[in-house]
Structures are given as structure tokens and as C-alpha cells.
Amino acid sequence: MQYSKKVIEHFRNPHNQGLIKNADAIGQVGNLSCGDIMKIYLKISENKKGEEIIKDIKFETLGCAAAISVSSALTVMAKGKTLVEAMEITKDQIVKNLGGLPPVKVHCSMLGVEALHQAIEKYNKSHN
């Protein structure tokens, strides 16, 4: 299976790439077998209902095209969501959003979800 057009677009023009100075939370995960490392930065604020939302999200990823594309797509999916909604994002949703990934690259989608969930869990521990 080749990469979908959407994967290639996210790889060539990643959304929300970079870091957030004074981030409210940071999640970082890596995969020893492939060497990919993903870091997710979150800036949290409240919406009109008083729910905590992801106001801004950025990523830094050292990895293959799939890892970068997954990170980019994940940030687009999570931005503006409540923390509860963001915790419900799954690897399958990311893969579907990207139009599929080669089977050997699906593990990359897990890294993005794990980094996001780790950042949210760190935020919740430090603010509860």
C-alpha cells in the first residue's frame, strides 16, 4: 500500500508543527524499534461552558513520513476539543482521517495518541 494523498499532504505541509513556549502540558513518547519520537505541546483554556479545551496544540516529531503525518492530523483533530473529547481520539480515527496507512506504519498512529493522552494526563494531575 502506498501513502494516501492526505498522508503526503500532511507530510509535505505539516499543520501545527513546532513548540509552545510555556505549554500547559507536554507529552513525549518514542518507539525503540523504529526510532520515532513524538512530542505534543498543549495550551489549555476554558470554553463558554467552563470546560477545559485544547486552545493550541503543536508537535515535534523525529520520524518517518507516516509519523509526521499522524502528528499533523492528530493536532488538527484535537485542536478546539475538550480534554474529554481529545482523550477519546483513537488510532483508528487518525488512520481513517488520513485515508489509511500501510500496515507496517500503523504503529506510528499509536505514538501520536499516546503522546496526546500523556500530555492530557499530566495536565489533569497538575491541575486537580
* CATH number of residue 94's parent domain: 3.90.1010.10
Nearest to 116 by CA among 80, 68, 93, 83: 83
Active site residues: 34, 108
pLDDT in tens, the chain (128 residues): 689 999 999 999 999 999 999 999 999 998 767 778 899 999 999 999 999 999 999 999 988 888 899 999 999 999 999 999 999 999 999 999 999 988 887 776 788 899 999 999 999 998 86
Q: What are the residues whose beta carbons fall under 8 Å from the beta carbon of 99, sequence distance 6 or more? A: 4, 5, 6, 7
Whether the Cβ atoms of residue 1 and residue 64 lie closer than 8 Å to each other = no
Number of structural domains in the chain: 1
Whole-number pLDDT of residue 127: 82
> Which residues span the domain enclosing 74?
5-126
pTM here is: 0.92
Whole-number pLDDT of residue 99: 92
